[in-house]
Amino acid sequence: MLKKTSYILLVLTIIACSPTAQTTKSSRGSKSSGKELTEAQQMKLTSLFIEAQKERMLGNVFTADKKLNECLQIDPDNHAVMFDIASIAKEQGLAGKALEFGKRASAEDPDNIWYKALLADVYLDLNEFEEAEAIYDRIIQDHPEGFDYLYDLSMVRYRMGDLNGSIEALDQIEERMGFAEELFQQKHLLYMESEQEDKAIEELEKVIEKYPKNPTYHGMLAEVYEKQGEMDKALEYYEKILEFDPDNGMVQLSLYEYYTRQGDSQKAQEAIVKGFGDELIDIDTKIGILLNYYEMSENDISRRQEALRLCEQLVATYPDEAKAHAIQGDFLLRENRLEEARDAFLRAVDEDPDRQIIWSQILALDSEMQDYEALNAHSAEALEFYPANPTFYLLNGISHNQLGDHEAAIEALEGGKELVIDDDALLVDFYSAIGDAYHQLEQHMESDKAFDKAIRIAPDNVYVLNNYSYYLSLRRANLEKAESMALKANELSPGQASFQDTYAWVLYQNGKYTDARTWIEKALSNGGALSGVIREHYGDILFKLGETDLALEEWKSAKSLGDHSEFLNEKIEKQTLIE
């Protein structure tokens, strides 16, 4: 049965509702105010009403409401106009106004089903469920063919907490129209929610008798028995499904959950492998299971290995699905299998390059593995798809810096910097990387400008403070500023070998060799002993302090570590300081 009237019907109704038309009695039983409309008033009323409908269709609800109120000034008791005012008010969330005009319309035409239905909807908006229920009861009594209103009645009773009443309304629908899948599912959910599990079983047994080879109903019955703790009966119904549908993957997934709850890990594993092999089960269902696995297996090594095997099975079943490769990458990344994780993510963007978050993961792995050639290539490719992503420009610029192409780095960094919006931390990273590039090109004025901008934005950024001060010390430029920044970096982040080495080197360049020795030895004790640069710096400081033999030993240690200046071999050969 239709529940919404049309604008054409409303126009016809307004004519029928006018006193002139009611001289022959409206079929809707409209009440007249007793005010006879002239022909001119009737024409004006109809014209205004049509204009109101047009305005409403165009979305101009305020204009429509104004014109409807003008209609009421001509014919104060016109229930069709009241109904339309109430409808607009309801759409705007003005429940009080909707209730007022809905009541007035229904009072003028108490038998009108449309008016009753609107009034019931308004009561629902106001959470006045008993009023809504009473109206739906009256509608159903007057219009027993109205299945839609029985659904509404069921819903109202559900919201009232009357689950049995809700089921009763659904039963009435079933009596009139017979079995329907959607109806059955709703009733089942209500039985389970109201803890009437015996009723749910009874209904399921009836429907299974009618449809003995429908796996859905067997599975539902198995789940009810599981909930009741009758595990043997639950297993019996799962196995019945496999008798007539042995390849049913959904049953295998249900069996996986069943065996997991029973603590039978071997059978659970067998079931989930079979379930994952069913291509009829959509990939999203399987990914949902894997996401649960991710959480469950966090502290369970055996489950983590099991999850990896399922990921392999997933990508074998869906080799062309980006999401299959992406979730495999997530699991591999958790195991710190970085290269394999990156390969999985790369395969995902091969299948679907419009995956910004996966590109970000790929670039993060390139950076973590210090694979700057890959970072350069992958960031360039990512920028083809996301040319407005500033982070991709930053990583592209950093990769150029690391590969020695500093001019290309500056081009990428200057371009990407302009795309940064309301992100000071990211902007600082850009200026820092630009400073690095200009330093390598020996364009020191531009380098200092970039670092100064970074410092103005983030005066406590320890990496900017450290790098800027180190570059200044290498040039022996503005050493007081360099010393202040290097000290601040160490105060903000104590115990960092690289920061301690920088401060020691600034002190060394300032001729403060004793203080430099104190700080370089701190760096050595915090892991710097494995750095060729730090050991060479230590040797230089010792040489300035007159401890030439110890200095030579440190230079030789630096050479064995492999990370040192171009002057180191000459220092060792000539046993003297070369700067």
| The three-state (H, E, C) secondary structure of 490-549, written as one string | HHHCCCCHHHHHHHHHHHHHCCCHHHHHHHHHHHHHCCHHHCHHHHHHHHHHHHHCCCHH
Q: Compute how many other C-beta atoms are within 10 angstroms of the C-beta atom of residue 144.
A: 12
Domain boundary residue, one of 255, 273, 291: 273
**Domain termination residue (choose one: 223, 242, 273):** 273
Give the phi and the psi of residue 564 in degrees, each rounded to 5.
Answer: -155, 180
pLDDT tens, residue order, the chain (579 aa): 334 444 444 444 444 444 434 332 333 333 344 468 889 999 999 999 999 999 999 999 999 999 999 999 999 999 999 999 999 999 999 999 999 999 999 999 999 999 999 999 999 999 999 999 999 999 988 888 777 888 888 899 999 999 999 989 888 888 888 888 888 899 999 989 899 999 999 999 999 998 999 998 998 998 999 888 898 898 898 889 888 888 888 888 888 888 888 888 888 888 888 888 888 888 999 998 888 888 877 877 878 888 899 999 999 989 999 999 999 999 999 999 999 999 999 999 999 999 999 999 999 999 999 999 999 999 999 999 999 999 999 999 999 999 999 999 999 999 999 999 999 999 999 999 999 999 999 999 999 999 999 999 999 999 999 999 999 999 999 999 999 999 999 999 999 999 999 999 999 999 999 999 999 999 999 999 999 999 999 999 999 999 999 999 999 999 999 888 889 999 999 999 998
Token reading at 251: 């049953």
In this structure, are residues 256 and 275 in contact, taking their beta carbons and an 8 Å threshold?
A: yes
| Region of residue 59 (left: phi > 0; alpha: psi -120 to 50; beta: else) | left
CATH number at residue 247: 1.25.40.10
Among candidate residues 526, 506, 527, the one with its CA nearest the CA of residue 515:
506
pLDDT of amino acid 263: 85
In a domain, 470, yes or no: yes
Let me know if residue 218 belongs to a domain: yes
Give the C-alpha separation, 389 to 412, whole Å. 12
DSSP string, 118-162: HHHHHHHHTT-HHHHHHHHHHHHHH-TT-HHHHHHHHHHHHHHT-
pLDDT of residue 53: 92
**CA distance linking residue 233 with residue 258, whole number of Å:** 12
Query: Domain for residue 542, yes or no?
Result: yes
Number of independent structural domains in the chain: 2
Dihedral in degrees, nearest 10, Cα atoms 482, 485, 487, 491: -170
| Continuous H helices in 21-94 | 39-57, 61-74, 79-91
Contact by Cβ (8 Å): 444, 477: yes
pLDDT for 30? 33
Domain extent, residue 537, equals: 459-579
Confirm if 17 and 31 have CB atoms less than 8 A apart: no
C-beta atoms surrounding 496 within 10 Å: 19
- What pTM was estimated for this model as a whole? 0.67
The full 3-state SS of 209-261, as one line of letters, equals: HHCCCCHHHHHHHHHHHHHHCCHHHHHHHHHHHHHHCCCCHHHHHHHHHHHHH
- pLDDT value at residue 35: 64
449 occurs within a structural domain: no
Last residue of a domain, one of 243, 273, 303: 273
Backbone angles phi, psi at 459, to 5 degrees: -65, -15
Angle at 28 between CA 25 and CA 30, to 5 degrees: 65
